[in-house]
Amino acid sequence: MDRYDAAATEPKWQAEWDGADLFRATRDERPKYYVLEMFPYPSGRIHIGHVRNYTMGDVIARYKMSCGFSVLHPMGWDAFGMPAENAAMASGGHPKDWTYQNIDVMRGQMKPLGLSIDWSREFATCDPEYYGQQQALFLDMLEAGLVYRKPAVVNWDPVDMTVLANEQVIDGKGWRSGAEVERKELVQWAFAISSMAEDLLESLGRLDDWPEKVRLMQENWIGKSRGLEMTFKLTEPAHGHAGIDIYTTRPDTLRGASFIAIAPEHPLAKALAAEDADLAAFSTEVRKGGTTEEALEKAEKRGYDTGLTVDNPLGGTLPVWVANFVLMDYGTGAIFGCPAHDQRDLDFARKYGLPVIDTFVAMDDDSRVETEAFVPPKTEKVRWIDQPAGVEVATGQEAIDATIDWAEREGLGRGRTQFRLRDWGLSRQRYWGCPIPVVHCDACGVVPEKKENLPVRLPDDVTFDVPGNPLDRHPTWRDVACPSCGKPAKRETDTMDTFVDSSWYFARFTAPHAKTPTNLDDAAYWMNVDQYIGGVEHAILHLLYSRFFARAMVRTGHLPKGTEEPFDALFTQGMVTHPAYVTKGDKGQPVYHLPEEVDISAKTVKATGETIEIVPAIKMSKSKKNVVDPMDIIAQYGADTARWFVISDSPPERDFEWTPEGAEAVAKHLARVHRLASDILRADRPANDADKELEKQTARAIHEVTQGIEGFAFNKAVAKLYEFTNTLHRSDAGAEARRTAMKVLAQLMAPMVPHLAEEIWSMLGGEGFVVTAPWPVADPALLVDDTVTLPIQINGKRRSELVVAKDAPKSEVEALALADPAVVRALDGAQPKKLIVVPGRIVNVVV
Ligand code: ANZ
Ligand code: ZN
């Protein structure tokens, strides 16, 4: 018996595909289809999540190819970033070597998966050919006013004397030095993404093929709100300030104001600190702690009473405090504190003994919970207390709108729409990133590098033995002639946030070797990405930045109009999970064990006999020791097994649990399909009555598998393929009919298990490759079910059923019913008292 040998078959077909250059994306008269999976970070090895992600993309790509599309399915590497520098610091190697070695390993692991990728378009974002074009794009954006310089707050490690990324700040301390991190203001580059906030928000409504939850996350991130900007007059002018401008999104709660708070970096606070050593010390002190939102949220609320007061338009005065929780780069850098309705303000008021003043009570309950601040609900009606705009019973939103109108009428302030979205600070004080292509000249200021001098290459001769950015301490790299006046000048040593690299790679894939960032003709042909696939962890920043870049590229002439929304359809896949096996350590801490170390049926650790707890299906991670290496699976069963398994068991958007038994069952099934094909090839049964039924079942299979793939319900497609395999196995149809059905089965399986499908296709004499053979089409006539199943009731109880032609005449149904064995038994030779046929529904027999 010829056993299916995946290990021999898979490389054979991969070589054949390569030889025929099947997956090279070509511009021709066919309609195009661009499918893209979020490109990987070259961390070292591929994991099973990658396999699931790329298999999904490959199913779509191969399916579309069969449907007659010219498919673009590229792959690249998101290759800049911190881990390479960390590895260099740990091992003394070079980030570049580490990165390219990892890429080689991962490419080597990906190729055996048999993905239909156009490898001629591969690039890594750390290739100078790529980042040089990114620099060109940056310069065009600079000219268009889409990127600019502004002061921004960074995490500063005072011991290592270096800027830290947010993830390098752990519990407010530098990850290497352990020193308390300070906030420091530096001049940084920023992309003007907030200038497009309105459009980025509004266009979300047109992204019909995006998951609703992703659109919602983006909407919240952009965070549009209408509020009030209002001036509180200083009782006594101070340092040239007549008043303080505040911003609030809850003007409805103005009655509850009990203090004014300004940021430590507020101009008034700075002026006061210049004369007040205590305030200066306070400001320095609160600058400690990271810049992350989490750090700010967690930090204890602290304040300094300036002694100044403002006039409250509702009567009396309010004290002015400097507070650590007020940010300078949001709103106006000043607020009115409303302790009754804002938790931060309440914490602050408790600590410093400031009044808590209610502004409303609920409709059905006028007592209030004292311990928590509770903001008036926007959509629910409440009863207001002495509301400034005269509102009595109204929702929060109604009160907000009324108060803005009132404040405008009274000349106290003006309504203002505000977005939470800030401009995107892109400067990173790191080596392993794309150099920002500008030069600082004493005479000319900030001067863009000339385009003909791009790429500004990273120097190779750097070391990581001391903290900080090696570009800063490189002996010669910084020294250049000013591109404008030619005098000695200094290069910018900051590099770009790695999110920049991934914000336009999809456009670069359309012309990866162009001497400009893109080629408009190619971009016009291939854009948009028809199907984008990736993890939901990128739902916010990556997608938002890409949407911004697409707009910026249209504006700077690097993408054609109409590609502002670059991803037509988005699919976010679930994770691959696996149980974890845990025992308790001596301090009660969890100790994880590798699957091979435990006896799962006895629930013990093999070596020690300790009882294990099995944590059901959690995300795979090294620390939980529940990682399955896809390469082991491929070595054991072949790529087709891994591919089929990762998409078979659960809907693609859900998490999927990897089990060794499941993988083995898949391998067995695929071998069975191969055996079935061999049997069918040898069979010689003549054509017969069963042929028609098999033809119908084949049409059904085509229909349902196609729908499954089109609808991203790969698990349903797979389920149908199992069923159809059984049908074909049991069918008594003639050899010719079975061969035809088997070829269709191979075609329908090809997107998922391309190697096995190719093997069967060629065994059965299919023409060319299965992947390029036209996708089978179901004859609609065969999809119509022309029989019905009628239940037979005897004396009101269901006893049997009849399968009859849909258009069978009543007399025929009656005759068939009377011949039914159950009816014959019940009648025992007598005539029925009644025989009622409800056509298409039921047969009732009364005896
Ligand atoms: C009074 C008030 C009463 C506020 C209340 C909230 C609740 P969102 O909605 O996220 O945009 N705020 C304004 N500028 C700030 C700054 N620079 N630093 C820290 N907080 C600031 O947040 C807007 C609210 O955040 C504003 O509305 C203001 O507090 C605060 F029951 O004003 B609110
Ligand atoms: Zn100059």
Residue nearest to atom 10 of ligand 1 (CA): 420
ipTM of the complex: 0.93
Give the mean pLDDT of 732-742.
97
Q: Same structural domain for residues 278 and 402?
A: yes
State phi, psi for 792 to the nearest 5 degrees. Answer: -110, 120
Is the Cβ atom of 224 under 6 angstroms away from ligand 1? no
Is the Cβ atom of 255 under 6 angstroms away from ligand 1? no
Q: Same structural domain for residues 565 and 456?
A: no
Classify residue 654: in a domain, yes or no. no
Binding site for ATP: residue ranges?
622
Q: Same structural domain for residues 430 and 472?
A: yes
SS3 54: helix
Rounded to whole angstroms, the Cα distance separating 780 from 488 reads 76
Neighbours of 570 (CB within 10 A): 20
Q: Same structural domain for residues 450 and 598?
A: no
Which segment of 136-140, 286-290, 486-490, 836-840 scores lowest on mean pLDDT? Answer: 286-290
Rounded to whole angstroms, the Cα distance separating 56 from 752 reads 8
Please list the residues that pair with 174 across neighbouring strands.
169
Q: Identify whether 455 is preceded by a cis peptide bond (ω within 30 of 0).
A: yes
Going by DSSP bridges, is the β-strand pair 427-428/424-425 parallel, antiparallel, or unpaired? unpaired
Classify residue 672: in a domain, yes or no. no
Tally of structural domains, the chain: 6
Q: Same structural domain for residues 303 and 385?
A: yes
Rounded to whole angstroms, the Cα distance separating 38 from 622 reads 22
Task: Look at residue 293 in the predicted model and tell me its pLDDT.
Answer: 66
Q: Same structural domain for residues 316 and 271?
A: yes
Closest alpha carbon to 579 in 458, 688, 670, 660: 660
SS3 635: helix
Ligand nearest to the CA of 487: 2
- Provide the token pair at 828: 């025992």
pLDDT in tens, 782-799: 888 777 889 999 999 999
Q: How far is the CA of 337 from the centre of ligand 1 (A)?
A: 9
Q: Same structural domain for residues 361 and 234?
A: yes
SS3 257: coil
CATH number at residue 431: 3.40.50.620
Residue type, 309: T
Angle at 74 between CA 747 and CA 752, to 5 degrees: 25
Classify residue 661: in a domain, yes or no. no
Residue to mutate, 153, 324, 335, ligand 1, most ligand atoms under 8 Å from C-beta: 335
Q: Same structural domain for residues 179 and 48?
A: no
Rounded to whole angstroms, the Cα distance separating 322 from 234 reads 15
Q: Which residues have a Cβ under 8 Å from the Cβ of 333 and sit 6 or more positions away?
A: 262, 263, 265, 266, 326, 327
pLDDT in tens, 272-309: 999 999 999 999 988 877 666 667 777 889 999 999 99
Return the DSSP state at 615: E
Q: Same structural domain for residues 411 and 470?
A: no
Is the Cβ atom of 808 under 6 angstroms away from ligand 1? no
SS3 269: helix
In which domain, by residue range, is 816 found? 787-846
Closest alpha carbon to 143 in 449, 516, 531, 368: 449
Place 1 in a pLDDT band, splitting at 50, 70 and 90: very low
Global confidence as pTM: 0.84
631 CB-contact burial (10 Å; exposed 0-12 / middle 13-18 / buried 19+)? middle
Q: Same structural domain for residues 413 and 447?
A: no
Residue to mutate, 219, 226, 228, 247, ligand 1, most ligand atoms under 8 Å from C-beta: 247
Place 201 in a pLDDT band, splitting at 50, 70 and 90: very high
Task: Look at residue 297 in the predicted model and tell me its pLDDT.
Answer: 72
Which segment of 241-250, 281-290, 548-557, 583-592 scores lowest on mean pLDDT? Answer: 281-290
pLDDT in tens, 806-846: 878 888 899 889 989 899 999 988 899 999 999 888 999 99
Summary count for the chain: helices (H), strands (E) = 27, 36
Is the Cβ atom of 338 under 6 angstroms away from ligand 1? yes
Q: How far is the CA of 488 from the centre of ligand 2 (A)?
A: 8
Q: Same structural domain for residues 284 and 312?
A: yes
**Cα torsion for 132, 137, 138, 142, to the nearest 10°?**
140
Ligand nearest to the CA of 228: 1
Q: Identify whether 86 is preceded by a cis peptide bond (ω within 30 of 0).
A: no
